Amino acid sequence: MRFFHFLRYLFLLASILVCGGMSASDENKQHELRCDSLKNLLKNPSLTPKQELDIYASITAVYASFSIDSVIEYAPKAIRLAEKLKEKQIALDTYSHWGVAYGFRNNYDTAYSILDKARQIAVELGNKETEARMLGLTAFVYVLQGKYLSATNYYLKILPIYEAMENYNGLATVLANLGELYRKLNNTEIAIQYLDKAAEAGEKLKSHSDGFLYAWRIANIYNEYTTLYLEQGDLDKALEYALKSSDTLGGGGVINKCTNKALLARIYLQSGDYDRALQYAGEAMEQADILKDKNLYVKSWVILSDIHLSTKHYPEAEAEALKAWQADSTNIDESRAIAQNIALANVYMGNTEKAAYYFKKYSELNEQYSEKSFHTSMSDMAVKYETEKKEMRISALEQQYILFISIGVIGIFLAIAIWVILRQKIKNEQKEKQLIVANTIFEWEKKERKRFASDLHDGINGMLSAMRLELNTVEHLHNIRDQLDNCIETIRRMAHGMMPGSLERYGLKAALEDYCRLFPHVYFHFFGKDRRIGERLELVVYYCAYELVNNSFRHSGATSINVQLIQDGDIVSLAVHDDGCGFDKESVVLGSGLKNIKDRVTAFKGKIDITTFPGKGTETNIELKTENI
């Protein structure tokens, strides 16, 4: 019976780590053979109910490392026997496998219910380590579902349990997960702090466990470092940790290996090495095929879509993204990138209706992601944990000594807080002054533009038109009349650029359509709901489009220019893309036109991004919020 108990424990660990020490395919074959042997034992008619229970529990544990469907099939059989025989430990272990399996199948409510039963059994048994493990599995399922706040709550409950027990594997796991959550919140400093603590716990694990568990845990932490530095744009650091993870993993760990391959693909994608990017994306897909887990498939499809989008294979980019979308459009993190890729691929393929539909989906997912209370709540829980930990340590020290230290610390924090508040107040005042100056300049320029446009249209343009009427009677002056026609058209374009009448009467969409129509190779695209968004904002966006189109004609030698306007909720986005000569942003000094655009966008708290390379054209993206205008 001890053999079966040991086997159950070993594969409970496998269900959490989903890894192995040999190549994944060989490992799975060995597991399948082991399951077949155990199933043959069930054919023995002389088995006692306890022996039958041990076999079913062992089959479930083995399948937990590589076959989710088989876990769902065999776990209920083991549970029924365990409850009948009142074998609580076996029931707890099997419940844990069963709950995680339903989590991987996205049946989250069932997973939470099953894992809660496992936790209740752990409480009845009085086993704090097992209780912490069940809480960890519940947190893991919350992560699969994308509910990071709930996951964080569970992780912070587990942390003091593992600290008290000096369970370094548990500590490393939870700290790495908290680092991941803070990374997703773009709080890089705290994320690195948690990852550093996780690495310290992982190194202590080296002398307290077998080498396999240490290698898997450290590789997992290296993958998280890789992701963090990749998001920060530090490709050298990202590649360094990705290769460390790959070397540490060796032949085991399907989830870790799939993640590592996908990260390497993304690193080479960002560095422009598309062949290597495709190679590692394909290897990530091979790992996903081993476990046949939806989350791993989605990870692989997304990176393949990104690569095809970067190499301008737009049908392939859309196809891979649609696979991911059909597999799971509920995970906010992944589905935002998926919807964006589908929309962009269709924009480049000219499918405007489909592009608009997925841009809308992308916007809706972004709104869901921006939960204002998320960061505050998570920080509050972290502070609560740190406070409770300090209180436990304080109780073991001299009260008078702690009192003096506490007063000193409080005084320092108060001084820092006052300094931060004053510094922030000064910054706010400076920003307010800058905005006042920007508004003053804006109003003056608007008046000057109106005056200049009026003078051109009513004065010079009228006089030239009158001259043309007089010249109609003189036949030999055809050339002069043609020149005057060109002159009138030029002045009309100038007046349109300074202050188009359609902008005041009909709004931004109509004005940009009119302006783009003046040129044979400028194409205008509009997505969203056409509505008035305020005179100041409309004039800023129109001016930016006017300057960018003129810059493309004057400097890039472009033969085609695409102007795209998106109005979605309180967001207005402008994109101007040309197929001209491009330029090197590091060596070329920006002209006054682009500087003026940047100054205006910055003054109104907007974002501007210029993507260009020599010989690759230029794309400028501007985003403004109506609430900041």
Domain-located, residue 459: yes
**Domain closes at, from 499, 514, 534:** 499
> In 328-398, which residue ranges form alpha helices assigned H by DSSP?
332-349, 352-369, 373-394
Residue 235 has pLDDT above 60, yes or no: yes
Is the model more confident about 259 or about 415? 259
571/463 same-domain check: no
Domain-located, residue 361: no
Average of pLDDT values for 385-401? 51
Identity at 40, one-letter amino acid code: N
Residue 68 has pLDDT above 60, yes or no: yes
Residue 444 has pLDDT above 60, yes or no: no
pLDDT given at position 90: 93
Is the model more confident about 325 or about 595? 325
Average of pLDDT values for 559-572? 89
458/541 same-domain check: no
What three-state secondary structure class fits 563? strand
Residue 49 has pLDDT above 70, yes or no: yes
Q: How far apart are CA 327 and CA 324, in angstroms?
A: 5
* DSSP-assigned letters across all residues of 406-429: HHHHHHHHHHHHHHHHHHHHHHHH
267-297 as b/e: b if 16+ CB within 10 A:
bbbeeeeeeebbebbebbbebbbbbebbbbb
For CA atoms 134, 135, 136, 140, give the dihedral sign. positive
Model confidence band, residue 596 (pLDDT cutoffs 50, 70, 90): confident
Averaged pLDDT score across all residues of the chain: 78
Least confident among 71-80, 266-275, 404-413: 404-413
**Domain closes at, from 470, 499, 528:** 499
92 touches 121 (CB < 8 A): yes
Model confidence band, residue 256 (pLDDT cutoffs 50, 70, 90): confident
Is the model more confident about 377 or about 338? 338
461/560 same-domain check: no
Considering its fold, how many domains does the chain have in total?
A: 3
pTM: 0.44
Bridge partners of residue 568, in order along the sequence = 571
Domain residues for the domain of 30 are 1-165
Residue 1 has pLDDT above 90, yes or no: no
Domain-located, residue 32: yes
Report percent pLDDT > 70 for the chain: 73
Report percent pLDDT > 90 for the chain: 21
221 touches 172 (CB < 8 A): yes
Average of pLDDT values for 360-384? 58
Domain-located, residue 185: no
511/618 same-domain check: yes
| Per-residue pLDDT tens over the stretch 340-363 | 899 898 989 999 898 888 888 888
Taking each helix axis from N to C terminus, what angle separates 88-104 and 68-85, rounded to the nearest 10 degrees?
A: 160
pLDDT given at position 212: 66
Domain-located, residue 328: no
Query: Could you tell me which of 541, 544, 562 has the C-alpha nearest to residue 617?
Result: 562
Backbone angles phi, psi at 120, to 5 degrees: -60, -40
Q: How far apart are CA 219 and CA 223, in angstroms?
A: 6
State which of 16-20, 122-126, 166-170 shows the largest mean pLDDT: 122-126
pLDDT given at position 478: 60
Domain-located, residue 446: yes
Residue 24 has pLDDT above 50, yes or no: no
Residue 185 has pLDDT above 60, yes or no: yes
Q: Count H helices, E strands: the chain?
A: 26, 5
Average of pLDDT values for 128-139? 90
45/104 same-domain check: yes
CATH number at 70 reads 1.25.40.10
Domain-located, residue 610: yes
Average of pLDDT values for 281-302? 84
156/84 same-domain check: yes
pLDDT given at position 292: 77
472/528 same-domain check: no
447/595 same-domain check: no
Average of pLDDT values for 76-93? 93
57 touches 6 (CB < 8 A): no
CATH number at 610 reads 3.30.565.10
Domain-located, residue 456: yes
Q: How far apart are CA 576 and CA 219, in angstroms?
A: 43
What three-state secondary structure class fits 607? strand
* DSSP-assigned letters across all residues of 107-151: -HHHHHHHHHHHHHHHHHHT-HHHHHHHHHHHHHHHHHHT-HHHH
* Environment class of 554 (CB within 10 Å of its CB; exposed 0-12, middle 13-18, buried 19+): exposed
541/426 same-domain check: no
492/517 same-domain check: no
Least confident among 32-36, 314-318, 338-342: 32-36
**Domain closes at, from 165, 198, 220:** 165
What three-state secondary structure class fits 578? strand
528/610 same-domain check: yes
* E strand intervals along 14-134: none
Residue 551 has pLDDT above 90, yes or no: no
424/510 same-domain check: no
